[in-house]
Structure 1
Amino acid sequence: MTDAPGWQVSPRWIEWRRTVDLLKYDERFTLMAERGDSIHGEADFIERLFPRRKISLLDAGCGTGRLAIEMTSRGHHAVGVDLDPDMIARARSKASDIEWHVADLSKLALGSKSEVVVMAGNIPLFCAPGSQAGIIKSLSQHIVTDGYLISGFSLEDRGDAYLSADYQRDALAAGLTFVAEYSNWNGDGSITGDDYTVMVHQLH
């Protein structure tokens, strides 16, 4: 495993990454799909925002590329970015035709904008504590006018937790407008008592 700079990520990400085997990580989703489980809830969610048309998407914190690859297979234009070079190498090995970047989300400078920027898979929790505001600001600069920033992450009962209210504060500070909050990628609206949030903001 190639280590990402420790100051750019949270301790929980370092611990998770130290123990995960990327091949087995991908195989888990393959096995789920073979069982008939839905593994593309994020892609389905995004397509509900843009029915019957193709979009451009930036998968921020793309990992091994599951979302970007699925969106590309559906005819959309996707770009993937992750801090971990091993994950990007794995993503590139599965889909060399997609544009992949190893980059720090807080300092991202792709020179292009997308209709949707998405952070799926607990990205706000895996980045270094206190860096979320800078990341959201950076990502907001990669969204076209009237485009969306969508983020999904766990809500935790702990003293240093980053919660939906924190995300909302940072998104508004970045010039984004709140659209909706859901409890999962199925688009269920109630979040009372749930432990996950999907936040949708728009750039006007």
Structure 2
Amino acid sequence: MPVNPWLAVTGGTAGPGYAARFAELEREGQDLHGEARRVDALVREKLGRPGDVLDAGCGTGRVAIRLAQLGHRVVGVDLDASMLDEARASAPELDWRLVDLVELRLDRTVDAVVAAGNLWPLLTPGTHAEVVGGLARHLRPGGLLVAGFGLDGEHVPFTLPDGVGFPTLADYDAAAAAAGLELVTRSADWAGEEPYRDGGYVVSVHTREGHL
């Protein structure tokens, strides 16, 4: 299997620096919880209460930890041990799992999957459709897949390895459709307020057919 772009770029050692950078942003008063706020609102709109959420590519746990603070039952999954070490240090009581998403097999389904942090362009080449299909299978009927990612080098703060191109939004939509997901809404921001007009960053909300 090809090397994962994230691990190729970072060497699997980015956790401490990544955590320190977001800690500094928090000290500066920046809002770090837009993704969690959006997912929380979407799940509560569906269920009328907190739900079960999978944070796919959870990194240092920023989104998952905030969702847990808001009352959701969360599992965070990442393939970078250095990132998960930071997540476990911050919230040892939560369910953190070291696994490539292409191999993910939870023992339960969830109400929502959040994929933030540019997960889509950083998946291992050749696994994109398989990963989306696996995430869809972890959704209960009516569950939501909420994904935000950059589509070009200007909107992804990493240089992809030589020979690795950016997967397109059309690729993502095709993978979602093949997985039985339907598009609910799409925006250019996590607040869901700025309409998406073919820009370099997109947030998509898909649902699995059925009712929660």
1:35-84, CA deviations, whole angstroms, 9 ceiling, x for partnerless residues? 22110110111122124621110001111111111111111111001111
Paired position in structure 2 for 1:80: 76
Query: Cα–Cα, structure 1 residues 19 and 176, in superposed 2: closer, same or farther, change >3 Å?
Result: closer
Of residues 39, 43, 46, the one that matches 2:39 is 46
Paired position in structure 1 for 2:128: 132
Residue 168 of structure 1 pairs with residue 170 of structure 2: no
Query: Which structure 1 residue ranges, 4+ long, deviate > 6 Å from structure 2?
Result: none
**1:87 Cα deviation from its structure 2 partner:** 1.6
RMSD: 2.1
Paired position in structure 1 for 2:63: 67
Count how many residue pairs are aligned between Structure 1 and Structure 2. Answer: 197
Paired position in structure 2 for 1:22: 15
Query: Cα–Cα, structure 1 residues 96 and 157, in superposed 2: closer, same or farther, change >3 Å?
Result: closer
Amino acid at match of 1:198: V
Paired position in structure 1 for 2:2: 7
Amino acid at match of 1:61: G
Residue 119 of structure 1 pairs with residue 119 of structure 2: no
Structure with more relative contact order (C-alpha pairs < 8 Å, separation 6 or more): 2
Paired position in structure 1 for 2:158: none
Residue 32 of structure 1 pairs with residue 25 of structure 2: yes
Partners of 2:61 and 2:12 in 1: CA distance: 19
Paired position in structure 2 for 1:105: 101
Structure 1 gaps of 5+ residues are 1-5
Partners of 1:28 and 1:57 in 2: CA distance: 25
Residue 187 of structure 1 pairs with residue 182 of structure 2: no
Partners of 2:15 and 2:94 in 1: CA distance: 19
Amino acid at match of 2:24: L
Amino acid at match of 1:172: A
1:96-131, CA deviations, whole angstroms, 9 ceiling, x for partnerless residues? 110111112112111111111111111111111221
Instruction: Point out the more displaced range, 44-53 or 168-177.
Output: 44-53
Query: Cα–Cα, structure 1 residues 144 and 128, in superposed 2: closer, same or farther, change >3 Å?
Result: same
1:136-195, CA deviations, whole angstroms, 9 ceiling, x for partnerless residues? 001111111100011111012799321211100100000111111110112134222521
Paired position in structure 2 for 1:3: none
Partners of 2:92 and 2:117 in 1: CA distance: 22
Report the TM-score, using the length of structure 1 for normalisation: 0.89
Structure 2 gaps of 5+ residues are 155-163
**1:18 Cα deviation from its structure 2 partner:** 3.0
Partners of 1:131 and 1:115 in 2: CA distance: 23
Partners of 1:89 and 1:101 in 2: CA distance: 10
